[in-house]
Structure 1
Amino acid sequence: MTVTVRIKLRAAITILVLCLFYQSHGQITLPKVFGEGMVLQRDMKIPVWGNSASGALITAELGGVQITTQADEQGKWRVDFPEFKAGGPYTLKLYEKGKPNQSIELTNILIGDVWLASGQSNMEWQVQQAMDASNEIAKADYPDIRFLIVEHDMKLAPLEDISSGYWKICDTASVRRLSAVAYYFARKIHREQNVPIGIIQSAWGGTPVESWTSRAMLLSSPITRQRVQANDTLTYNHLVTDSLHAVRFWEIVFNPQNNTDKTVPLSEYDDSTWKEIEMPGVFRDFGMGSYEGMVWLRKKVMLPKAFSGKDLTINLGRPEMNYSLYFNGTEICKNIWNANPTHDYTIPADLVESGENTISIRMALLWGGGGLNPPAEKIYITDSSSIISLAGTWLYKEGLEPAIPEIQNYHYYPELLFNAMINPLIPYGIKGFLWYQGEANVEQAYNYRKLFPMLINDWRKQWEQGDTPFLYVQLANFHNAKPLPMESDWAELREAQTLTLLQPNAGMACIIDIGEANDIHPKNKQEVGRRLALIANKLVYKQNVIASGPQYKSFKIEEDRVRISFTSIGSGLSTKGGKEISGFAIAGEDKQFYWAKAEIDGGEVVVYSDKVKSPKSVRYAWADNPECNLINSEGLPAVPFRTDDWKGITQK
C-alpha cells in the first residue's frame, strides 16, 4: 500500500469516526433511572429528562399525553407530564422532530408509589441474607413491585447519570439481591394500598451520613465544612487506586491464596508452631484488634465409633461474616457475608473417621472482628443423638496468605456518594424516602443531631417536592448486655434519631427489641419492613393506626418516685411476655444511675428505687443492648429515652 493510499484511508476513517461521533452525540438519551418496567410516581407531575442535540425539538408521549420541548444549548431537556392515577402498563415514547429513526420507546411502565431506599449495610442487606430467606424467596411473585439497584460508585463532582443499574420485576430470581427491609416494606404497602410499588435502592455498607449529603449542605455547617473542603486535595487517581486496592482486598478475602486451601486443611498438615486461642471467642480480645487479614484456625476432635458412617451436623455458632469451613481437608462451606444465617452444616458420612478428625476454618478478620462468638454451647458436632462440644483450645495462624492492601475507603468521605448515587436520581418523582443508617456515626452521635436533619433537608431541597415523607429506622440493640447502667454512644445515637422526629413529615421505626448482641445485621428484616410500613400507613397514607411504640412525653417527680407519661400507648401499656418491667434506671443529683423498679399506672409508668431518695432523672433502654420490655397494645416497643440532658460521652 502506497503512502498516498494510506493517507487517504486514514482521512476517510477519521471522517467516518467524526460523523459517527456527531451522530451519536445528537441522539436522544435518557439517564439510567428510566427504563423498561419502571414505576413512575402517581398523583404528581412526572419529570422526564435527558440529552440530545443542542436546540433539538423533543416530543415525549405517555398515556396519550404528548409534550414537546426544546433542548438548551448544552443539549439538556426536560418535560413534566401531568398527574396520573395508579395503573398501567404504559409506554413512554421520545423522538426528535425530523429524526423519526432516532427515538426511544420504553414499555411495561406502571404508575404507583416510588420509594428511595438508602443508608448503609442494614438497608443494603439482601433478602437472601435475611431471616427465612429460602421460604421468602420462593413466595416472591409480585409483578407490580419493581426495583432498581444503584450500583456502588463515588465521584468528586455531581454526576448526571448513575454508573449502572436497571429496573427489575420482583420475582423469585430477582428478589434475592433486593434490600430485605425495602422489599418487606414494599410488599406490605403494595398489598394494603393495591398500587404498584417502585423501589430505588441506593445504599452502601459502612458509610456515614455525610457521604450521602451534598457539598453545598455540608459547607453550611461548621461540623463538616473543614472535612468536605479536604476533598479538594483528592484526584480521580486517588479514587481509581483505592478501587483497585479494594478489588485486590476482596479477591484475597473471598479466594484462598498461596494454595492454602489445598494444604492447610489436611489432617497431616504441620501446625506445631501455631498459637493457641480459646473458642468461642473473638480475636480482638487476644491482642489482634488492629489486625486485618486472613487467619486460619485448626482443631483436632476425637469422634466416637458411633459417629462413623453417619452424616454429622457441625454448628459454628456465630462466626465472623466471611469464612470457609473444612473437615478432614474437604471444604464444607464457603460463607460470604453470612449468606447462611444459621451456620450449621452437614458433614457427609464418607468424610467422618472414627477417632481423630481435623476441623479447619479460613476466616477474614476485618474491622476489629473475627472469631467464633459465644456462647460455648453453640459450637458443636452432633449425630442427632450425641453432641461433642468444639469449645476449648484451637490453634491459629496469620500470615499464611498475602497481606490485604490498605484501603482509604473514599466512599466514607463527605459528599462522594451523594455525587454518584443520589444526584443522578434527582428529580425522579418519588413518594418518599426510606433510610436505615447510623452505625457508622455512633462515635459522633451528638453531632448526628445536626448531621441527620441536614441530610433530610438537603434531599428535600434537591427534589423540590416539599416536605417529602422521610421514614427511617432507629438503631437496633447491639453488643453484649451490661450488668449495670452506664453511658452508651449507641443510646446517644438513638436519641439523635428520636430528636429528628421534630422534622416535619418524618417517621421513625423503633427496633430496640429485635437486634442481636453479636450481629450488627439483625436477621429479622421482615419486622423492620413491617414497622416502616406502619409508619407509612399513618404518616403518608393517613390511616388511623398505632404506628409506634410508647414515646416519652413528660415526667413529674413525686417525692421519691418519678411518673412518666407517654404518647402512642394505644389502648394501654403492658410488657412483653407479661413480665415485670425492665429497662428503667434512675439517678439523683450525683448522676449515679441504678436499676429501678417500674409499675404501670393507667397510661403512665411510675419509676423508683430504694437507692435514690431524691430522683432527678430517669432513663429507659439507655444502653448498647438494653434489656427492656415495655410495649403498647399493638406490641410495639417503647422508644428509648432519658429525662435529663446531662452531657454525654460523644458531646465534645
Structure 2
Amino acid sequence: MKKQLLLFLSAFFIITSSLFAQITLPKILGHNMVLQRDKKVAIWGTATAGEKITVAFSKQIKTAVTDNSGNWLVYLNPLTASFTPREMTIKGKNTIVLKNILVGEVWLCSGQSNMEFAMRKYSKYDSLAKGYKPPVDDLNTADNPNIRIFLDRRKYMEPSPEHLGWDSAMGRPLVDFSAVGYYFAKDLYAKLKVPIGMISAAVPGSRIEPWIQASKLEIESQLKNGQILDKLSSDGGDPGKFYDTMIQPLIPYTFKGFLWYQGESNCFLNEDIRYAYKFKTLIESWRSDWKDKKLPFYFVQIAPYIYSEAKDARTHTTENLPEFWESQALVLNLQNTAMVTITDLVEKTTDLHPGNKWKIGHRLSLVSLNKAYGQKNVVCSGPVYQKMKTIDNTIEITFSNTGSGLASRDKKALSWFTIAGADKEFVPAKAIIEGDKVIVSAAGVQHPYYVRFGWHETAQSNFINKEGLPAVPFRTDNPWEKLFK
C-alpha cells in the first residue's frame, strides 16, 4: 500500500509539474492578432519560475527568465506596418507558434451599451431619416482580412493554454462586435492603408466606477478653491468590477490609444463635477497602467435623451444632461484628449441608443486622424465656445474649430441659443453668424450677461461648421471650468 501511494504521488507530481511548465499566454496574445507599429511591443505570460523564455518574430529574438512567480515579459523592437502574415514562436519547456500576425494600428474601445452596441443590433435599424444606414451593408459584405477584431468577454479573459486569438472583421465574428469600433476601423484603414486591430471591452448599463481599479478610486478630489469632494468610491457602482476582469488582463498589450463611449448610467444619477473627477481618474490610471502618460484618449459626448422623464427615485430636470455634457468636456483639460459631439445624430430623444453608429465611428476616426496621426487638414470637431464679449445690448461669442466657416445646417436662423441678464432669467435669443463669431441678443434683455447654447436635454441645434460637424453645447456661466483641476 505504501509503495502504491508513493508511486501515485510521484506520478501526480510529474503530471502537475509538467502542466505548470507549460507556457501560458494571456488571451489577448493569439493567432491573427495585430501588433502596434512604431512602438516597442510587449509580449508576456507565465511559465515555471526560473525558466528561460525565447520569443522570435520578424527576425527579432528576445529572451527573458521568469521571476519567482513564473511571470515573464519581453519587448520587441518597434516594427513597421506589414500586410504580410507572419508567425511568432515562443519557446520554453514547450513551444507555442502564433500564426497569421499583422503589424499596423491597434485601438482599445470601451464603455457601456452604446460602445458595446453590436453589428447584429445595428443591422436592424432601417431608418433613413438621418442616414442611419451606412452606404454599404457591412454586416453581410465586409471582406477585409486586414481589419482584425478581439472581443473582450468578462468570463473569457483568464490566461490558458488555448490561443484562439483574434478574428477578421467579417462573417460571424463581426456580428457581435462593436459597430462604433468597426466603423472607426474601416475609416481608419481607408485613410492609413495599414492593418487595423480593434479590441472591444464594453458592458451594457455599466457606470464608470467598475472600469476603474478600486484602489485608484479611493481618492478625495480637491477643487481649485480648496473644497474637498467626498471620496469618489462612496458613490458605489462596484468599483473595479470590469477593470479586474476585462482591462487588467489586457495590460501591457501595446496599442495606439483608447476610445470611450459611456456616461448614460452616471447621468441618470444627476452627476456633474464628480463624474469629471472619476473620468479624469480613469484616464490617468489607465495611462499609468500602460506606462504612457500621453496615450490618446478620445471619447463620445452622450446623446440627447429625455432623462427628465425617467421614473426613479431622483428628480431629473431638462438641464441635468447639459450639466453632464459639461462635466464630460472638463477632461479635455488633460493632454491628448478629444471629444466627439453627436447632438445631431439622434432621431428620437426617447431612444438611449442612437442608431447612427457608422457616423459616430467616422467622427472618432476624424479625431484620430487629426490628433493621433497629425493630419491637421482633417476637420474633426464642430464649433467650440472660446470667449464672450458684451457689446451694448448684444454678446459676441468667439469659437474655435470653425473649419471652413460657421453655418446653419438648414439655412434657417440658428437655434437653441438663450440669453440672460444679471438675474439669470434666460430667454430665447436671436443668433447671427459674423465670421468666426456669433452675435446673440434678445429684445427683452437690454444688459446681457450670459449666453447658453443647446442647454436642454433634447437640444438638436442647426449650428454647425461648413464641414457639417455640430457645435458643442455650452454655457458662459460654467461654474466648474475655473475650479476643476
Look up the match of 1:537: 369
Which of 69, 85, 89 matches 2:85? 89
CA deviation after TM superposition for structure 1 residue 446, in Å: 2.3
CA deviation after TM superposition for structure 1 residue 11, in Å: 5.4
Which of 503, 514, 523 matches 2:334? 503
Look up the match of 2:304: 477
Asked if structure 1 preserves the Cα contact closer than 8 Å seen for 2:258 and 2:298, the reply is yes
Look up the match of 1:175: 174
Which of 90, 110, 114 matches 2:102? 110
Using a 3 Å threshold, how does the CA distance of structure 1 residues 615 and 163 change in structure 2: closer, same or farther? Answer: farther
Using a 3 Å threshold, how does the CA distance of structure 1 residues 414 and 561 change in structure 2: closer, same or farther? Answer: same
Q: Which amino acid aligns with 1:433?
A: F
SS state at 1:468 partner:
coil
Residue identity (%): 36
TM-score of the two chains, using structure 2 as the length reference: 0.88
Which of 595, 615, 618 matches 2:428? 595
Q: 1 CA distance for matches of 2:232 and 2:11?
A: 49
Unmatched runs of 5 consecutive residues or more in structure 1: 232-411
Q: 2 CA distance for matches of 1:56 and 1:627?
A: 61
Residues 156-188 of structure 1, C-alpha deviations (whole Å, 9 max, x = no match): xxx878999841111132211110000000000
Q: 1 CA distance for matches of 2:289 and 2:412?
A: 48
- 1:29 equivalent to 2:24? Answer yes
Q: 1 CA distance for matches of 2:33 and 2:409?
A: 42
SS state at 1:464 partner:
coil
Q: 2 CA distance for matches of 1:9 and 1:509?
A: 69
SS state at 2:399 partner:
strand
Asked if structure 2 preserves the Cα contact closer than 8 Å seen for 1:46 and 1:80, the reply is yes
Look up the match of 2:130: none
CA deviation after TM superposition for structure 1 residue 67, in Å: 1.2
Residues 545-595 of structure 1, C-alpha deviations (whole Å, 9 max, x = no match): 111000001111112211111011112111111111101011111111111
Q: Which amino acid aligns with 2:319?
A: S
- 1:446 equivalent to 2:273? Answer yes
Look up the match of 2:251: 426
Q: Which structure shows the bigger proportion of residues in strand conformation?
A: 1
Cα RMSD of the aligned pairs, angstroms, is 2.6
Using a 3 Å threshold, how does the CA distance of structure 1 residues 476 and 42 change in structure 2: closer, same or farther? Answer: same
Look up the match of 1:546: 379
Which of 115, 134, 138 matches 1:123? 115
Residues 257-314 of structure 1, C-alpha deviations (whole Å, 9 max, x = no match): xxxxxxxxxxxxxxxxxxxxxxxxxxxxxxxxxxxxxxxxxxxxxxxxxxxxxxxxxx
Q: Which runs of 4+ in 1 moved over 6 A?
A: 159-165
Q: 1 CA distance for matches of 2:232 and 2:452?
A: 35
Q: 1 CA distance for matches of 2:232 and 2:418?
A: 39
Q: How many residues align?
A: 453
Unmatched runs of 5 consecutive residues or more in structure 2: 126-132, 222-228, 310-316
CA deviation after TM superposition for structure 1 residue 226, in Å: 6.8
Using a 3 Å threshold, how does the CA distance of structure 1 residues 647 and 587 change in structure 2: closer, same or farther? Answer: farther
Q: 2 CA distance for matches of 1:463 and 1:65?
A: 23
Asked if structure 2 preserves the Cα contact closer than 8 Å seen for 1:111 and 1:196, the reply is yes
Look up the match of 2:45: 50
SS state at 2:200 partner:
strand
TM-score of the two chains, using structure 1 as the length reference: 0.66
Asked if structure 2 preserves the Cα contact closer than 8 Å seen for 1:481 and 1:626, the reply is no
Q: Which has the larger radius of gyration?
A: 1
Q: 1 CA distance for matches of 2:172 and 2:11?
A: 43
Q: Which amino acid aligns with 2:238?
A: Y
SS state at 1:493 partner:
helix
Q: 2 CA distance for matches of 1:226 and 1:568?
A: 33
Q: 1 CA distance for matches of 2:297 and 2:145?
A: 26
Asked if structure 2 preserves the Cα contact closer than 8 Å seen for 1:144 and 1:197, the reply is yes
SS state at 2:407 partner:
strand
- 1:63 equivalent to 2:58? Answer yes
Show the 5 A alignment for 1:259-408.
none
CA deviation after TM superposition for structure 1 residue 465, in Å: 2.3
Q: 2 CA distance for matches of 1:552 and 1:42?
A: 36
SS state at 2:447 partner:
coil
Asked if structure 2 preserves the Cα contact closer than 8 Å seen for 1:142 and 1:169, the reply is yes
Which of 198, 208, 227 matches 2:233? 227
Q: 2 CA distance for matches of 1:497 and 1:199?
A: 24
Look up the match of 1:340: none
Q: Which amino acid aligns with 1:36?
A: H
Q: 2 CA distance for matches of 1:581 and 1:86?
A: 46
Asked if structure 1 preserves the Cα contact closer than 8 Å seen for 2:304 and 2:460, the reply is no
Q: Which amino acid aligns with 2:191?
A: E
Using a 3 Å threshold, how does the CA distance of structure 1 residues 139 and 221 change in structure 2: closer, same or farther? Answer: farther
Residues 530-550 of structure 1, C-alpha deviations (whole Å, 9 max, x = no match): 000000010011112111000
Q: 1 CA distance for matches of 2:105 and 2:468?
A: 28
Q: 2 CA distance for matches of 1:79 and 1:121?
A: 35
Residues 86-142 of structure 1, C-alpha deviations (whole Å, 9 max, x = no match): 11312110112xx4xx11000000111110000010000011112448922122111
- 1:576 equivalent to 2:403? Answer no
SS state at 1:552 partner:
strand
Q: 1 CA distance for matches of 2:382 and 2:288?
A: 30
CA deviation after TM superposition for structure 1 residue 613, in Å: 1.8
Q: 2 CA distance for matches of 1:554 and 1:161?
A: 55
